[in-house]
């Protein structure tokens, strides 16, 4: 029965990676607040960008991408660990999305004068948030693990295909979001120190996400393995 020790080892390693990630993110805070110049026209609030944008990258693309991919893999391969990974990514992704939806309006208030305008990107994020939440609610509403995995996978795939439609729908309506300045062909319009900060921030938050994902996944495997051991034990003692 190697599942439990293996999961316990993963739990430790996930914990270490998370701690590393957390340190890196603390580094982002220090660097963004103390060692990055203030933007000329937007003021200090522009620095919210260094937290908001990397969180959005993780939430919308990385975390949900993993939910989508592993949902498809689960439906084909039926390995329950694939479902556990997708579910872990959904939970962690929801946390990152929450940060996006909290920091976004705060920043928006300083730029647009309003907490919420139906800006393309934030609205897309809001709808992805609904998908994440409905995924988590669905899981909590189904007790049987096999059915829960199947249903989650179906929702995961549908949600993944919905994301581009949300983007396109919202984009067709008015866009107020500041245009992306980092990833442009040729010269990025972000001055040197700011570019370093934002690239470092993307790296830091990505590591942090993987740490949390690993730990969460390991814990899910541990619980499943323990439940199975109990069930086996109950069978054996009959």
Partner 1 sequence: MPPANGGFMVAAYVAAAVIYLAYTGWLYWRSRGR
Partner 2 sequence: MRSVLAEAWTIAAKDLLLEFRSRTAFLSALVFTALVLAIFNFARDPTAVSATDLAPSVLWITFSFAGVLGLNRAFSLEKENRAIDGLLLSPASRTSLYLGKTLANLVFVGAVEAIALPLFALFFNVPLLDVLGALVLVIALATVGFVAVGTLMSSMAVNTRFGEMMLLVLVLPFLLTPVSTAAEITAKLFAHRPFAEWAPWLKLLAAYDITFVVLCTLVFEFTLEE
List of residues contacting partner 1 (CB under 8 A): 8, 11, 15, 18, 22, 25, 29, 33, 38-45, 47-48, 51-52, 55, 92, 95, 98-99, 102-103, 106-107, 109-110, 208, 212, 215-216, 218-219, 222
C-alpha 80/C-alpha 106 separation (Å) is 40
Q: Where are the alpha helices (DSSP H) in the chain?
A: 3-34, 49-56, 64-77, 80-112, 120-141, 145-172, 192-236
- 16 vs 231, which CB is nearer to partner 1? 16
**In the block, residue with structure tokens 């607040």:** 33
- 74 vs 208, which CB is nearer to partner 1? 208
**In the block, residue with structure tokens 């051991």:** 229
- Crossing angle for the helix pair 64-77 and 145-172, to the nearest 10 degrees: 140
159 contacts which partner out of partner 2, partner 1, none, CB within 5 to 8 A by kind? partner 2
Give the interface size with partner 2 as a residue count (CB under 8 A).
29
Contact 151, 138 (CB under 8 A): yes
Helix (H, G, I), strand (E, B) or coil at 114: coil
Minimum CB separation from partner 1 for residue 211, in Å? Answer: 9
Q: Does 155 bind partner 2 (CB under 8 A)?
A: yes
Minimum CB separation from partner 1 for residue 233, in Å? Answer: 16
- 101 vs 155, which CB is nearer to partner 2? 155
- 38 vs 79, which CB is nearer to partner 1? 38
201 contacts which partner out of partner 2, partner 1, none, CB within 5 to 8 A by kind? none
Q: Nearest 10 degrees: CA dihedral of 165, 167, 171, 175?
A: 160
Q: Does 151 bind partner 2 (CB under 8 A)?
A: yes
């Amino acid at each position: 029965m190697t599942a439990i020790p293996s999961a316990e080892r993963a739990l430790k390693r996930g914990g270490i990676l998370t701690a590393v990630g957390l340190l890196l993110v603390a580094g982002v805070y220090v660097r963004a607040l103390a060692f990055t110049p203030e933007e000329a026209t937007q003021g200090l609030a522009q620095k919210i960008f260094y937290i908001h944008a990397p969180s959005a990258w993780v939430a919308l693309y990385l975390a949900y991408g993993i939910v989508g991919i592993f949902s498809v893999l689960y439906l084909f391969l039926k390995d329950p660990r694939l479902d556990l990974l997708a579910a872990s990514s959904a939970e962690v992704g929801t946390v990152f999305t929450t940060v996006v939806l909290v920091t976004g309006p705060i920043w928006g208030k300083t730029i647009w004068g309003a907490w919420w305008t139906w800006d393309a990107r934030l609205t897309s994020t809001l709808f992805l948030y609904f998908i994440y939440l409905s995924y988590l609610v669905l899981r909590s509403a189904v007790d049987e693990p096999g059915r829960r995995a199947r249903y989650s996978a179906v929702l995961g795939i549908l949600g993944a295909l919905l994301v581009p439609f949300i983007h396109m729908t919202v984009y067709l309506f008015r866009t107020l979001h500041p245009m992306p300045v980092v990833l442009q062909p040729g010269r990025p319009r972000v001055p040197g120190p700011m570019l370093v900060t934002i690239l470092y921030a993307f790296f830091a938050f990505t590591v942090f996400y993987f740490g949390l994902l690993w730990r969460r996944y390991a814990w899910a495997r541990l619980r499943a393995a323990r439940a199975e051991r109990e069930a086996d034990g109950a069978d054996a003692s009959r």
